[in-house]
Structure 1
Amino acid sequence: MKSKKIIEDPRFKQCNKEAIMGLGLGVVNLIWWFGWGYGLGKKPISEYTYILGFPTWFFMSCIVGGILFSILTVIMINKYFKDMSLEGLTKEEIEKYTKEFD
């Protein structure tokens, strides 16, 4: 039997970068939410300060965090993510993607 050389799809490298960036953004979002929510939320209710009628801890963790991380997601997708075909690749396309994603 002839053994064929297996060529790893060069798109995997880009997919791994995108997955790590998405996971990183999710972890940072969790830290933001937890820090504001439990950091400022531990005070007695009588000591709360309010922004637009919401306790500061809630406003910063849920409202500002939701808006901020939505904007960061859009920026990350537009700047770092690449549009790729999910179809099988020809040898020429493999060479193209190999050069593009390195």
Structure 2
Amino acid sequence: MEEKERMDWRFKIAHKEAWIGVILVIIHFLWWFGFAFGLGKKPVEEYSYVFGLPAWFFYSCVLGFIVMVFLVSIAIKFLFKDIPFDDEEGEKK
């Protein structure tokens, strides 16, 4: 019980931000997997192309990267906090 009471408040924030990172990774994987294997199952002769790239590649890799950069930027701006890394007890000495 004392261990939890003495736990640094920054760990709570770090755990929350780590879970946000895990969720973003899962979103990215599902986006990539859905487009890569959803559109990429067809025979090569039936592929459609976007900007000279197969549609499955464009949507999974190119557009997926752009979407994830946007989502990570939004998460960092609105969900993450700037916390000090200095040891508070060390400053008092």
Q: TM-score, normalised by structure 2?
A: 0.87
Greater RCO, CA 8 A, separation 6+: 1
Q: TM-score, normalised by structure 1?
A: 0.79
Letter in 2 for 1:70: V
Deviating runs (4+, > 2 A) in structure 1?
none
**Residues of 2 paired with 1:40 and 1:62: CA distance?**
12
Number of residues of Structure 1 aligned to a counterpart in Structure 2:
85
Greater helix percent: which structure?
2
Give the corresponding residue for 1:61: 60
Displacement after TM superposition at 1:89 (Å): 2.2
CA RMSD of aligned residues (A): 1.1
**Residues of 1 paired with 2:19 and 2:26: CA distance?**
10
Give 1 or 2 for the bigger CA radius of gyration: 1
Give the corresponding residue for 2:88: 89
The within-5 A match list for 1:1-102 is 7-90=6-89
Unaligned runs of 5+ in 1: 1-5, 91-102
Identity value in percent: 44
